[in-house]
Chain A
Amino acid sequence: DAGVIQSPRHEVTEMGQEVTLRCKPISGHDYLFWYRQTMMRGLELLIYFNNNVPIDDSGMPEDRFSAKMPNASFSTLKIQPSEPRDSAVYFCASSPLAGIDEQFFGPGTRLTVL
């Protein structure tokens, strides 16, 4: 299996622009998670899905952030409009049967908002 795939790996954009991050989970995994990692705040859970349904979005910072999972093999995290404080590494992870089982992380997207 190719593992969790994320794109792009790096994104540099200007404040106010829309940013879309993409994730392809491991086939057959029921859970998908979006995390944000910074030096100051560590690894923060933004939102997670079970069988394509959003279960908990309490970690989403504000209305500028939105996430979708239209099917079992694709998810997006969108930031509109982006701000410099959104600069971070964003990880997607998937888990086979339970959210508290081993999570398989993608390589991350490093986002820089100027």
Chain B
Amino acid sequence: TQLLEQSPQFLSIQEGENLTVYCNSSSVFSSLQWYRQEPGEGPVLLVTVVTGGEVKKLKRLTFQFGDARKDSSLHITAAQPGDTGLYLCAGDDQGAQKLVFGQGTRLTINP
């Protein structure tokens, strides 16, 4: 099974600051997905990246897929308390019809 490592595991910053979280693997993925999970709820898809080097923007969130399709990053500009949550990356598992999830980055934005 392919593994995805996310860093940092925990991040607590002040409102208005910028941040980047990472999702890394030694394996190549055909695509990577980013989910956000809020307390008491299930994960919700934010974005899917499929092409090496691809950059996608979702308002203040910028997602990048590494050129070799082994890693991805999520950058948040001017973080807001509403960005608080658990951010999970997920990739396809060696051609099987299932996803492998990273451990997640637990983000807290303080007002």
**Of the 9-residue stretches A11-19, A63-71, A101-109, which lies at the interface with chain B?**
A101-109
User: Contact between A42 and B43 (Cβ–Cβ < 8 Å)?
Assistant: no
| Chain B hits for A93, CB < 8 A | 42
Partner of B42 from the list A45, A100, A108 (CB cut-off 8 Å) is A108
Q: Within 8 Å CB of A43, what residues of B?
A: 43, 88, 101, 104
Cross-interface CB contact of B104 among A42, A91, A105, cutoff 8 Å: A42
How many residues from A make CB contacts under 8 Å with B? Answer: 21
> Which B residues are CB-close (under 8 A) to A99?
96-99
The A-contacting residues of B in range 87-105, CB under 8 angstroms, are 88, 92-93, 96-104
Minimum CB–CB distance from B100 to chain A (whole Å) comes to 8
B contact residues around A31 at 8 Å (CB): 97
With A42-B103, A100-B31, A102-B48 as contacts: A91 and B98 at CB distance below 8 Å = no
Tally A-B pairs: CB < 8 A.
53
Main SS class of interface, B:
loop
Q: Categorize the interface residue count of chain B.
A: 20 to 34
Closest to A4 in B: B42
User: B33 at the A/B interface (Cβ < 8 Å)?
Assistant: yes
B35-75 interface with A by 8 A CB criterion: 40-45, 48
Asked, given contacts A105-B42, A105-B43, A108-B41, whether A98 binds B104 with beta carbons under 8 Å apart, the answer is no
**Residue A114 is within 8 A (CB to CB) of chain B in the complex:** no
CB nearest to B42 among chain A residues: A105
Q: Determine the residue in chain A with the shortest Cβ distance to B97.
A: A99
Complex Cα distance, B111 from A8, in Å, reads: 34
- Chain A residues with a Cβ under 8 A of chain B: 4, 31, 33, 42-43, 45, 48, 50, 55-56, 91, 93, 98-100, 102-103, 105-108
User: Can you list 7 pairs linking A and B with CB atoms under 8 Å apart?
Assistant: A42-B101, A45-B98, A45-B99, A102-B45, A102-B48, A105-B42, A106-B42
Given A42-B104, A91-B43, A102-B45, 12 other A-B residues pairs in contact with their CB atoms under 8 A: A43-B101, A45-B99, A45-B101, A50-B97, A56-B96, A93-B42, A100-B31, A102-B33, A103-B45, A103-B99, A105-B44, A107-B40
